[in-house]
Amino acid sequence: MICTLRCLPLLAVLLLPGCALFEEGASLSNFHTVVLDPGHGGYDNGAKAVKGLPEKMLTLDVARRVKPLLEARGYHVIMTRTTDIFIPLGGRTGISNAHPDAAFVSIHFNSASRRAANGVETFYYNPRSAPFARNILSEIACCYGSHSRGVKYARYYVLHHNMRPATLLELGFVSNPAENAKLQDPAVRQRLAERIAVGIAKGHGGRAPLIGG
Ligand SMILES: [Zn+2]
């Protein structure tokens, strides 16, 4: 469909949630708001760790750690959840899509039936979000001795239905006994949070751009 920029918001309303549009105004260079999305919550535990906290608690903990680090860099930060509650996926993208100046970062931990699986990876849906995913991966890879599994394309709901620059982070495997032992350590999660904040701000030279700038 041929469309001018002016009709994009209307189209978005008509087409969402069936089809997400990366709004033209949304850009990696000018976002001021970061929507942090701790994966899972409530009855949805996410991945079960071989020992310790389940994925839903680890994601919330990391998001809580990232928030003040971004605020210190001048960003406005919104969390899709701040407690152990279930938020539908559409509610998560709805928060992002309601903020034209936002970028969206979903936080997850991985699990696999193969116990040896390990490492961190980041995902994007719209190719224009790929640099965002790459910036964060380059910071978190190796930050606790983990290896990089790369930046990958995926049609995940929270990415596909997102109108903003959006990435989903998989911060390591809680199904891997050695990796899980590290991820259960709050000091490791703090280090991860610091690297995530650096990665988010990387395209802006480390600080949120000036409003209107
Ligand atoms: Zn998850």
Confidence of residue 24 (pLDDT cuts 50, 70, 90): low
Distance from the CA of 39 to the center of ligand 1, in angstroms? Answer: 5
State in Å: Cα 181 to ligand 1 middle: 18
Among 62-71, 119-128, 152-161, 203-212, which stretch is predicted with the lowest mean pLDDT?
203-212
Residue 25: per-residue pLDDT = 56
- Mean of per-residue pLDDT scores for the chain: 89
Q: Ligand 1 center to residue 103 CA distance, Å?
A: 19
Report the separation in Å between the CA atom of 154 and the middle of ligand 1, taken as the mean of its atom positions: 14
pLDDT at position 22 is 63
Distance 122 CA to ligand 1 centre (A): 12
Q: How far is the CA of 40 from the centre of ligand 1 (A)?
A: 6
Using CA atoms, how far apart are residues 208 and 14, in angstroms rounded to an integer? 32
Q: Which residues have a beta carbon within 5 Å of ligand 1, which is an ion? A: 39, 46, 108
**Range in 22-26, 46-50, 69-73 the model is least confident about:** 22-26
Q: Reply yes or no on whether the pLDDT at 73 is more than 60.
A: yes
Whether 130 shows a pLDDT value over 90: the answer reads yes
- Determine contact, residues 58/174, Cβ cutoff 8 Å: yes
pLDDT, average across residues 192-212:
91
